[in-house]
Homo-oligomer: A and B are copies of this chain.
Amino acid sequence: MTNRKNSEREPDGLRERKRRDTHRRITEAGLKLFSARGFDATTLDAIAAEAGISRRTFFHYFRSKDDILLSLQTGLGESLAAALAERAPGQRPIAALRQAMHALLAAYAPDELLALDRLMLSSEAVQSRKQATYLQDEALVFAALCAYWPEENPAALRLAAILSIGITRVSMEAWRSGDGQRPLAQYVDDYFDALAGI
Question: Which chain B residues lie closer than 8 Å to A158 at the CB level?
Answer: 170, 191, 194
Does the CB pair A94–B198 fall under 8 Å?
yes
Query: Which A residues from 116 to 165 make CB contacts under 8 A with B?
Result: 125, 127-129, 131-132, 134-135, 152-153, 155-156, 158-160, 162-163
In chain B, what residue has the closest Cβ to A166?
A: B162
Interface check A197, CB cutoff 8 A: yes
Question: Which chain B residues lie closer than 8 Å to A128 at the CB level?
Answer: 125, 128-129, 131-132
Question: Which chain B residues lie closer than 8 Å to A94 at the CB level?
Answer: 198
Which of B131, B153, B166 is close to A166, meaning CB atoms less than 8 Å apart?
Answer: B166
Main secondary structure of the interface of A (DSSP, over half): helix
Interface check A107, CB cutoff 8 A: no
Interface check A72, CB cutoff 8 A: no
Interface check A106, CB cutoff 8 A: no
Interface check A190, CB cutoff 8 A: yes
Residues of A within 8 A of B (CB): 93-94, 125, 127-129, 131-132, 134-135, 152-153, 155-156, 158-160, 162-163, 166-167, 169-170, 190-191, 193-195, 197-198
Kindly list 10 other residue pairs between chains A and B, CB separation below 8 angstroms, not including A158-B170, A159-B166: A94-B198, A125-B125, A128-B132, A155-B191, A155-B194, A156-B198, A159-B163, A159-B167, A159-B198, A162-B170
Write 19 A-B pairs (CB below 8 A) sorted by A numbering.
Answer: A94-B198, A125-B125, A128-B128, A131-B131, A131-B134, A132-B132, A135-B169, A153-B194, A153-B197, A155-B190, A155-B193, A156-B195, A156-B197, A158-B194, A159-B166, A159-B195, A162-B163, A162-B170, A166-B166
